[in-house]
Structures are given as C-alpha cells and as structure tokens.
Structure 1
C-alpha cells in the first residue's frame, strides 16, 4: 500500500473499518469476550480507539456516541438484546489470556 497516496490509503482504511463494523453487526452471536480472548480487542475497544483518534485530531467524540456508532444502536439496547453472560469457560479463557499478557509484559 506504500504506492498509494495518503488520501487513497485513508479511504481504503476507512472502507475496511466500515466493513469490519458491518461484519461484526452481522455476527452479533460473537460475544465481546470471545473477541477479547481470540484477538485481544472487542467492540468497546473499537469505540475507545475512535474516541482516541478524535482527540488526537482535536475533534469531540464521546464514548457513548462512539459505541452507538460501533454497535449500530445504543450500547444498553445492544447489550440487552445480544450480550450473553460469560460462561465459566469464557471467563477462564479470558483470565488465561490476561495472565499471558501480564507474563509477556514482565519478560519483555
């Protein structure tokens, strides 16, 4: 992608991000905890990254507005309709993932 100009690269990145949001929206069965276990990010992380990007550019974007954009609806509504309680197996896998990150941080 280095051969692309900045504007084109930004447009492609934005299009890929929008496609990621569409993909996540089509797969509401994939819980945030599953994303955190497998990829170390979730929909909330995307929301926080949007807020951070806005702040870096001097734009105002609050976290709840960012979450509504990422989730496609108010977070409370999405949570009520689609979020399942984490299973003991998911919680254990998440804790194991966090322990691995802590250990990697200690040895790095």
Structure 2
C-alpha cells in the first residue's frame, strides 16, 4: 500500500492532537476518524488516537472528581504517569505514521476492537 504525505500528516495530527490544547485532543482525532472512513490507514490511526485520548480524559476527570474528596490525591501520581505514557506512545505512533506503518496503543486494544 502506498501511503501519501497527506495520509501521514493526518495520522500524525490525530496522535499529537493533545498539542492543540483544550478539547482539541479529542475533537481532532474524532473529526479525522469520521471523515476518513474510506482510508484504512488514516482511519485506523485516528481510531487508535481517539480511544487513547478518550481513555486518558475519562480517567483524568474521575481523578479530578475524587480529588475534591481528597481520595484522588493518592491517584494523581498515577495520572501523571498515564499522561507521560500517552505522550511517549503518541510520539511513537506519530513516528510509525510518518513511516507509513500502523501503530497499536498498549492496554486499550480491547476498546479499539469494539469501535
């Protein structure tokens, strides 16, 4: 399969969308996922990124709520590690996308297969 530069850029954007700030890290891969259903390479990268970003957002929100009850303060280091893991794996995914390869995020493949 011949992967074009545009396909690589869209896949990289989906993985590194957290650099956009705010909800951009969810909106960008979601838009790419919905608009590129006919492109297996871009669609798969966007799906991987979307699920990874949604998972970290949900875990962060739950931790934020628990912090209000002081219970979450114990979980904050875990969330920091998960965010670091997301940054590292998304950079690896972007490198794979730039090389025209597919990347699967660790720990979330069960969720990915349902989408």
Q: Relative contact order, CA 8 A, sep 6+: which one is greater?
A: 2
TM-score, structure 1 normalization: 0.29
